[in-house]
Amino acid sequence: MAATISVARTGNQDIDGILSGSRWSSPNLTYSFPTKASYYGSNYSLSDEPQYNFGSLNGNQSRVAREVFATIASVSNLTFAEIAETSSSHATIRLAVSDRASPAWSYYPDPGEQGGDIWFSRSNGWYDAPVLGGYGYYAFIHEILHSVGLKHGNETTGFGAMTASRDSMEFSALTYRSYVGAAGQYVENETWGYAQTPMMYDIAALQHMYGANYTTRAGNTVYRWSSSTGQEFIDGVGQSLPGGNRIFGTIWDGGGSDTYDLSNYATNLSVDLRPGEWSRFSTTQIAKLGDGQYARGNIANALTYQGDLRSLIENATGGTGSDTLTGNSVANTLRGGGGNDRLYGREGNDVLTGGAGNDTFYFNTKPNPISNLDQITDFSVPSDTIYLARSAFTTLTAGMLPSAAFWIGSQAHDSSDRIVYDTAKGGLHYDADGSGTIASVQFAQLTKGLSMTATDFMIA
C-alpha cells in the first residue's frame, strides 16, 4: 500500500481549513476502475462497500474521473497513471459503485487498503451521467479531492474550518456551504450551478501538499468562452460542454503571456486579472447557489503559489458592451473593444486600448516611470477621460482637474501645475509641486499632438 505523511499548517486558515492533515508521500499515484468485488480484501472496511451491490463505473463516469484527475494534475505536481485492477495489482485510488455509499464518499490517504478509495451510490442514479456543472460531475471533483488529502471546509475537525467569509463553493468544492452564510448541512445549488473545477483554495491546498505545476499551459495561452453555451475554449480547443449555459470555475495557468478573450460577448462584462479575484462575463451564465444567492462571478483566478507570478493572466480583451477591465501587478495589455469601457492598468507597465466608445482610463497606483508607466494607445479628445486617484496623486483635489493645474509643455511652468502633457513626445506627467523642487513623474504615454485640456481629467 502507498505510504502517507502528515501535513503542516500554512498559516492561512482558508487553506488550512480544507487540509485533512495527511497526504500521499509520493506524488506519483495510480488509479483504477475495479470490475470485481473480489479485488477488495475480505476485511476491507467497516462499511464493507464491495458486498453491497458492487458495480464498476460506466464509460461516462470513467471519462469524468479521468478529466478530474487530469485537472488536479494540471495544478499540482501530482501524477495519476491508470492501471488495470486485478486480484494482485491494486491502484492507490480505486473508484467503483456500491449501494453502501450514501450517496458517495471517499477515504483520505491512508496506508490501509481502503486509503484513497472512492465509492458512489449505484442505485440512486445521481452519478450515472455526470455533466460539467451538475451535481454528478461536482461529486467526482469533491470525492477525488478527498482521496488526495482534502477535507470539508465547513467542518471544524483537523486544523479547523475555513473563515466565514470564504466558506463557500465559490472558494472551495469541499465545503457543504453553497454560499457564504449557508447552513452547511448539504449543498443547495441549482441543477447546473455546481463548481466545474477545483476552486482557488482547493488549488492552494493541493499545491501546499504536492507543489505547483508550472508546465501547465506554459506558453501564450488564450482562453475564450461561448456566450451561448458556456463552453470553454483553450487555444481554440473546446473543453467539456457544461449544462445550462453556466460558467463557474477557477483558472490555473503555468506561464507565458496569457489572455482572457471575451471579444465575442455583448454584455457589460467585468474582467479582473488579480490573483484570487473574479471575472463576470454574463449574468445569464452566473451559477445560482441557492436561496436567491448567486456566485460572485464566472471565472476566478487561482492564488499565486509562494508569490510566483508565472501563474498570472496578463491580458484581457473585452467585447462590444461597456466593460470594466482590471490588470494586476505585472505588465498587462487591456483592450476594451466596443462600448464605453473602463480600464484599470494598476501596477506594471501596461498597454491600454479603449477601442470605440467613450472610454475611461483609471490610474490608482503610485506612478513610477520605470515600473508603473502605462501606454494609452488610442486616447481620444474629447470623448475619453483619465481618472486619477487621490491615494496615488496626493496633491490633487477631488473633482474635475482645475484648468490652472494643467499645462502643455515639457515641464511645469508655475507652482499651480500638477498634470503636464508633453505634446511633442506624448508623455503625461504628474508634478506634485509644479515648478517647485520635486521632480515630475511620467505615469502615462499617449499619442503625440493631442489637443488635451484639464476637462480630460477627473480626480476621485
Domain boundary among 206, 234, 260: 206
In the sheet with 232-234, reading across from the earlier edge strand, the strands are: 237-238, 232-234, 222-225, 259-261, 315-317, 333-335, 351-353, 374-376, 441-445, 427-430, 419-422, 406-408
Q: Are residues 227 and 104 in the same domain?
A: no
* 186 and 254 both lie in a single domain: no
Does the residue 415 lie in any domain? no
In a domain, 455, yes or no: no
Which residue range(s) make up the domain with 227?
214-357
Are 241 and 194 found together in one domain? no
CB of 323 closer than 8 Å to CB of 261: no
- Domains contained in the chain, number: 2
Residues 110, 188 within the same domain: yes
Please name which of 360, 366, 293 lies closest in space to residue 323, comparing C-alpha atoms: 360
Residue 94 lies in a domain: yes
| 109 close to 4: Cβ distance less than 8 angstroms | yes
**Do the bridges between strand 427-430 and strand 419-422 make them parallel or antiparallel, or are there none, so unpaired?**
antiparallel
CA-closest candidate to residue 274, choices 348, 170, 187: 348
- Give the Cβ contact number of residue 51 at 10 Å: 14
Given a contact cutoff of 8 angstroms between Cβ atoms, the answer to whether 412 and 406 are in contact is no
Question: What's the rounded Cα separation, in Å, for the pair 358 and 344?
Answer: 15
Encode 392-418: b = buried (16+ Cβ within 10 Å), e = exposed: ebeebeeeebeeebbbeeeebeeeebb
CATH of the domain at 21: 3.40.390.10
Q: Is-above-0.85 flag for pTM?
A: yes
SS3 356: coil
Residue 352: give its domain's CATH number.
2.150.10.10
Same domain, 161 and 13: yes
Per-residue pLDDT in tens (0 to 9) along the chain, 460 residues: 699 999 999 999 999 999 999 999 999 999 999 999 999 999 999 999 999 999 999 999 999 999 999 999 999 999 999 999 999 999 999 999 999 998 999 999 999 999 999 999 999 999 999 999 999 999 999 999 999 999 999 999 999 999 999 999 999 999 999 999 999 889 999 999 999 999 999 999 999 999 999 999 999 999 999 999 999 999 999 999 999 999 999 999 999 999 999 999 999 999 999 999 999 999 999 999 999 999 999 999 999 999 999 999 999 999 999 999 999 999 999 999 999 999 999 999 999 999 999 999 999 999 999 999 999 999 999 999 999 999 999 999 999 999 999 999 999 999 999 999 999 999 999 999 999 999 999 999 999 999 999 999 999 9
3-state secondary structure of 384: coil
